[in-house]
Each structure stands twice: as structure tokens, then as C-alpha cells.
Chain A
Amino acid sequence: MKVLNEMNLNFLSKSTNESYARSAVSSFFIQLDPTIDELSDIKTAVSEAVTNCIVHGYRNTMGKVFITARILEGNEVYIKIRDKGCGIADVNQAMEPMFTTAKEEERAGLGFAVMQTFMDKLKVTSKVGVGTTIIMTKKLSPRIKNA
């Protein structure tokens, strides 16, 4: 798929950056003139993925979170979020709704469910000791262009 625009972002895994990251990514997609619902779907999915890098990937450590956001041909949003943290041993289990390894911190185990529901496609690749990469895409509704 042809890439029409791209932005890259990296920041330290501090929880204060969660708000910044989701705002920055959703602002980038404003140029597609998304609906308010589409924009909050994107914002929420990004928030989940970034939080996972910070809470789980870099648990008890500090590292960098890397984001690539692209606009693809056909009004499609592409977001890649990556950490070089602990990785996930069993991705299928991690993606099960309500599965969490941080129950005592009131994590609901629904981060992946949010990403799956609010975006069209979600791909998770992970390797223990290497890190986790998630790629999400979403096709936005066609916009009426005023010439």
C-alpha cells in the first residue's frame, strides 16, 4: 500500500507521556478529516498500546517507546508501536479478553480487546527479551472533498 505521509515519534516510557503520545498521533491524522468517533477510536487504541509498553514492556525499567504513524492510500490509518522491553511469552493468551499479569494494579486485561474493537486490524509480534511490536490499521469512512 502506497504511503502518502509518515511521522515518527519516540519518547521515554514515563506514564506522563501516555497523554502526549495519543494526542500527537491523533493530531497527525486530523489531515484526513476523520469523524470525532474515528478520532477517539484511534486515540483510545494508541493509549492502550503505549500504556502496555510502559506498564508491561518496561516494567521496573525505563526505555524508549517508538511510534510510526502513516497515512496509506485509500484513507487508511497505519500505526506501529514498539518497545524493546521484556516481550510476551504467549501472545495468544495475552490477547484473550480479561487476561492480565497486573491484576493488583487494577489492569482490566482489556487493552488488546480495545485495540481490536476500535481498529480494523491488529497484529502483535513479540519475542521474550527483545520486545513487542504492534501494528494497527483502520480505514476511515470516505470524506466528501470540497474542491
Chain B
Amino acid sequence: MVNIVIKDDELTANLIGEIDHHTSVSIREVIDKQIQTAMPKMTILDFSKVTFMDSSGIGLVMGRYKLMQSIDGSLKVTGMSNHIKRVMMLAGLSKLVIIE
């Protein structure tokens, strides 16, 4: 599940619950639609309410990174638990996106 908040040039996607192959499909559809409408300078993916994530979450971050690049914006990832960080680090994502 995902909750979108847009303020000025910033779009925050609050991710909630479990991120896997099944759930990531609808999550990315919602986020992409909102990004394409709002055209924000910065998108923030907030993981603080994510209870589980497998490598599908990496695809989710990579895909949004590419989308933000295509509209000259940037991507920030926040609120990662240690477990989520461990999965993310496998992809070396810290080189591409801002991690807070």
C-alpha cells in the first residue's frame, strides 16, 4: 500500500506494509501516475512503515530513480529499517539515490 503527499515541488510516497513481487505492481502504478501528474523536483520514498521487503523493493527504487531522472528530478529514500538496508545494499543503490 502507498499513501501520496504532495507539497510544493516534493512528492512523498509513504509505503505501508509488505513489499514483494505481488504488492509492488500496484504500488508503482500509483506512484508513477502521481509523479507524471505532479512532475515534482524531488520524490521521497518513505519506508518507515514497511514491515517486509525482498528484492522487489530494489526494482521499485531503481524504477522510480529512472523516472525521476527522465524529468530531471531526484529521488530520496528514507526510513529504512536495518533489514531493508541490508537488502538495498546488495544493489549498491547508495550510489544512485539519496539515502537518509
Contacts and interface: CB of A to CB of B under 8 A. Distances in A.
Interface of A: 15-16, 18-19, 22, 37, 40, 43-44, 47-48, 51, 54-55, 97, 105-108, 110-111, 113-114, 117-118
Interface stretch (B2-10, B35-43, B59-67, B72-80): B59-67
Given A107-B59, A110-B55, A117 B90 contact: yes
A106 B59 contact: yes
Nearest to A39: B83
Interface string B83-98: 1001100110000000
A19 B22 contact: yes
Contact of A18 (B20, B53, B62, B90): B20
A55 B22 CA distance: 10
Contact of A37 (B54, B63, B83): B83
Contacts of B91: 108, 110
Contact of B21 (A15, A44, A118): A15
Contact of B28 (A18, A19, A106, A113): A106
Given A44-B87, A48-B55, A110-B55, 15 more contacts: A18-B20, A19-B20, A22-B52, A43-B52, A44-B52, A106-B24, A106-B60, A107-B55, A107-B56, A107-B59, A108-B58, A108-B59, A110-B90, A114-B55, A117-B90
A111 B53 CA distance: 12
A44 B54 contact: yes
A47 B54 contact: yes
Given A37-B83, A114-B90, A108 B55 contact: yes
Most chain A CB neighbours (cut-off 10 Å) among B55, B60, B82, B90? B55
Contacts of B63: 106
Contacts of B20: 18-19, 47, 51
Contacts of B59: 105-108
20 contacts: A18-B20, A18-B22, A19-B18, A19-B22, A19-B23, A22-B52, A37-B82, A47-B20, A47-B52, A48-B54, A106-B28, A108-B58, A110-B55, A110-B58, A113-B90, A114-B55, A114-B87, A114-B90, A117-B86, A117-B90
